Amino acid sequence: MKSIAALQDVVTPWSDGLEPSDAELDTIEREMPLIEARVELLDAQITVLDRTPSALDERRIRRARRKVLAARRDLTNQVAAAVGMAGGAA
């Protein structure tokens, strides 16, 4: 039986600890409000998957959507300010 070996280099270079870099951790920290808002929206949507949404459920989903949009706007403005672009998303 022949063994199969890769003939090409690995696409992603192997890291010693496979730990995220400081820059990656900073990016995750900066994006955390948006990540949390998306999780909240997903949670609200999952809640009503198997039943008809009540008025309270609909308000919760709308509030979560607005929170996602606000977090996206804030993140876009932060990135634009960091890059030095004039203006911003809002």
Task: State the pTM of this model.
Answer: 0.70
What angle (nearest 5°) sits at the alpha carbon of residue 15, between those of residues 14 and 16?
Answer: 125
Task: Domain ranges for the chain, please list them.
Answer: 22-81
pLDDT tens digit string along 31-70?
Answer: 999 999 999 999 999 999 999 999 999 999 999 999 999 9
pLDDT tens digit string along 7-42?
Answer: 655 566 665 667 888 999 999 999 999 999 999 999
10 Å Cβ neighbour count for 53? 15
Say which amino acid occupies 81: A
**Helix-strand-coil percent breakdown of the chain, rounded to 5?**
60, 0, 40
